[in-house]
């Protein structure tokens, strides 16, 4: 696209300067071309002068002036090059270039915006990984949608993505689940029971207990807690899978925590760390010397009870990710993991692996608002809103959009009243209505016998309004926007882009008539609208959202 064309010219001009002895190659891999943050500073700007001056101890404005005079020869691309401030180089492109973005949109159609940034690199995205102790809450829902969107974006820029669910079927919380289920089972049978003090209190435990009675009557009244744990786990995970299917989230692989113990992988981590002198005993517990890897204090990896802490199996699990050949690992976690992540990464480094290949995306909690008031929830008491309940109330598109319209590290307030509105106040409706309106324009054109011209026939030079240039610039930016959002694991950027593009279009439509008496101008504007429709559709589909043709 236009930005990549300009970047190639900047690189070529820089290389020419190296040949002529104007500067050295030191800055070659640090040059960028970006859209300026403020209006009036050109269509693009480069950091070349700042970078070269910083590396070579020269004056930025002197470098900028030299570069601008060299680049001014690229008259087929730029109208003018300006040096501003202490050494910014701003490019003002030939306005006719912007309409050239439309032909590739039509040619590539639903593949427009897909790039080869990932070059087939093997990536794992681990997300959801909710303990099978209850239905998915709205917090789990944010994790699911965020992880799925990240996986979709990485695939769009040609990473080979594996979606994995870490199935935590070991540990104390699973025994508590079994004990809770057994107690409810015996209660329903009218037998003496002792409900765990910190047991799971939701009605779903009663439902599981009734299911067990239907299948086994009272034959399990004296069975071990593990029998109830296994049955409850199977029922709950089936429910989790059903929820994920309903919101169009899928997984390629599931990794069971218990296999880390069965295969001796957890013990192997301890043995390897011990051989390196990184493990010691104190107060009956086993400690990892994490202070040798930048931590503020050493960490317990095996409690005095003999039970491993969360850190130990996580270290073993991440070593297995490396052993399975993944070159980049993305973990999507809730904010409650913020204190634990550094410990696990320290363990990965201690085991000899590059923890920089592990990227952790932490998302903040979700607050549900109804009638302007926060809905109080408790996970242990199961007084929480499930993903299924929220889905039934607002639908899949709204659920996805609202979960993605904030940065992952920002608190998310899910306003139910706004989510259910079918008006332009609702941001989902606002974007999808733009797509539906564009579809309507094309239908009106067909009904009135106005033909949509092809790229060669469209009189695109007639697109001279400032609003048209603004739309064309936004369309040109879509491929680089997707690539940047994918690499930075930031799907909210795509949401912001779609909202801005929809806003620009609604404003344009309200000010300018698309189908009018001037056949050539109508054709050009219809061609522009066709490009807008395709990009809006592609952006919505990229995040797993529908692009309705009527609303």
Q: Domain ranges in the chain? A: 2-93, 105-117+423-542, 172-233
Rounded CA-CA distance 125/64 in Å is 42
Contact 279/286 with Cβ under 8 angstroms? yes
Burial letters for 95-120: b for 16+ Cβ neighbours within 10 Å, e otherwise?
eebbbbbbbbbbeeeeebbbbebbee
Long-range CB contacts (within 8 A, 24+) of 107-113? 107/455, 109/534, 110/534, 110/537, 110/538, 110/541, 112/478, 112/479, 112/534, 112/535, 112/538, 113/156, 113/478, 113/479, 113/482, 113/535, 113/538, 113/539, 113/542
Which pLDDT belongs to residue 37?
Answer: 80
CA angle 50, 56, 62 (to 5 degrees): 55
Q: How many other C-beta atoms are found inside a 10 Å radius of the C-beta of residue 59?
A: 12
Closest CA to 431 of 499, 357, 383, 379: 499
Q: How many CA atoms lie within 13 A of 317 on its CB side?
A: 24
CATH of 105-117+423-542, one of 1.10.10.10, 1.10.730.10, 3.40.50.300, 3.40.50.720: 1.10.730.10
Do residues 34 and 27 make contact, with C-beta atoms less than 8 angstroms apart?
no
Tell me the average confidence (pLDDT) per consecutive run of 10 residues in the chain, 551 residues long.
87 92 90 84 90 92 92 81 89 88 95 96 97 92 98 98 92 89 96 91 93 96 94 95 96 94 96 96 96 94 92 96 96 92 96 97 93 74 79 96 96 94 94 98 92 80 92 95 97 98 97 93 95 98 97 90
CB 298 within 8 A of CB 290: yes
Quote the pLDDT of residue 381.
55
pLDDT score of 383: 59
Q: What's the pLDDT score for residue 382?
A: 55
CB atoms within 10 A of CB 331: 23
Structure tokens at 366: 């979700």
Q: For position 168, what pLDDT does the model report?
A: 85
CATH number of 2-93: 3.30.1360.70
Contact between residue 476 and residue 1 where contact means Cβ atoms under 8 Å apart: yes
The predicted model scores a pTM of 0.91
């Amino acid at each position: 696209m236009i930005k990549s064309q300009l970047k190639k010219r900047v690189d070529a001009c820089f290389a020419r300067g190296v040949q002529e002895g104007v500067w050295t190659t030191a800055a070659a891999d640090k040059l960028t071309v970006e859209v300026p943050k403020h209006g009036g500073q050109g269509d693009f700007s480069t950091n070349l002068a700042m970078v070269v001056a910083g590396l070579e101890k020269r004056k930025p404005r002197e470098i900028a002036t030299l570069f601008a005079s060299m680049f001014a020869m690229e008259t087929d691309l730029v109208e003018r090059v300006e040096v501003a401030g202490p050494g910014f180089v701003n490019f003002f492109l030939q306005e006719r270039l912007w309409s050239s973005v439309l032909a590739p949109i039509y040619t590539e159609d639903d593949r427009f915006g897909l790039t080869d940034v990932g070059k087939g690199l093997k990536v794992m995205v681990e997300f959801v990984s909710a303990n099978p102790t209850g239905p998915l809450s709205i917090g789990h829902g944010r994790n699911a949608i965020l992880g799925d969107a990240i996986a979709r974006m990485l695939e769009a820029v040609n990473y080979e993505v594996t979606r994995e669910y870490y199935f935590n079927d070991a540990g104390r919380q699973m025994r508590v689940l079994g004990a809770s289920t057994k107690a409810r089972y015996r209660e329903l049978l009218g037998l003496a029971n002792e409900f765990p003090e910190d047991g799971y209190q939701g009605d779903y435990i009663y439902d599981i207990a009734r299911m067990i009675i239907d299948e086994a009557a009272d034959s399990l009244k004296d069975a071990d807690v593990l029998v109830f744990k296994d049955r409850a786990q199977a029922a709950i995970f089936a429910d989790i899978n059903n929820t994920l299917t309903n919101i169009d989230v899928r997984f390629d692989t599931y990794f069971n925590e218990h296999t880390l113990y069965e295969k001796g992988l957890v013990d192997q981590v301890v043995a390897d760390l011990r051989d390196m002198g990184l493990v010691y005993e104190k107060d009956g517990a086993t400690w990892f010397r994490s202070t040798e890897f930048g931590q503020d204090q050493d960490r317990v990896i095996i409690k005095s009870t003999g039970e491993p802490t969360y850190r130990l199996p996580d270290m073993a699990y991440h070593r297995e990710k490396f052993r399975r050949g993944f070159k980049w690992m993305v973990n999507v976690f809730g904010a409650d993991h913020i204190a634990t992540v550094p410990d696990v990464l320290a363990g990965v480094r201690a085991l000899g692996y590059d923890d920089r290949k592990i990227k952790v995306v932490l998302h903040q909690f979700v607050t549900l608002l109804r009638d302007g008031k926060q809905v109080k929830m408790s996970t242990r008491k199961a007084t929480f809103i499930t993903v299924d309940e929220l889905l039934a109330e607002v639908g899949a598109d709204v659920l996805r959009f609202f979960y993605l319209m904030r940065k992952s590290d920002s608190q998310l307030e899910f306003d139910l009243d706004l989510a259910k509105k079918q008006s332009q106040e609702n941001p989902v409706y606002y974007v999808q209505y733009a797509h539906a309106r564009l579809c309507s324009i094309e239908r009106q054109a067909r009904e009135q016998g106005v033909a949509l011209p092809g790229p060669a026939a469209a009189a695109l030079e007639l697109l001279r309004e400032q609003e048209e240039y603004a739309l064309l610039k936004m369309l040109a930016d879509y491929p680089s926007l997707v690539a940047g959002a994918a690499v930075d694991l930031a799907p909210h950027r795509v949401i912001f882009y779609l909202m801005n593009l929809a806003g620009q279009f609604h404003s344009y439509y309200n000010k300018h008539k698309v189908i009018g008496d001037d056949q050539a101008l109508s054709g050009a504007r219809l061609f522009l609208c066709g490009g807008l429709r395709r990009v809006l559709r592609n952006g919505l589909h990229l995040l797993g959202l529908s692009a309705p043709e009527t609303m």
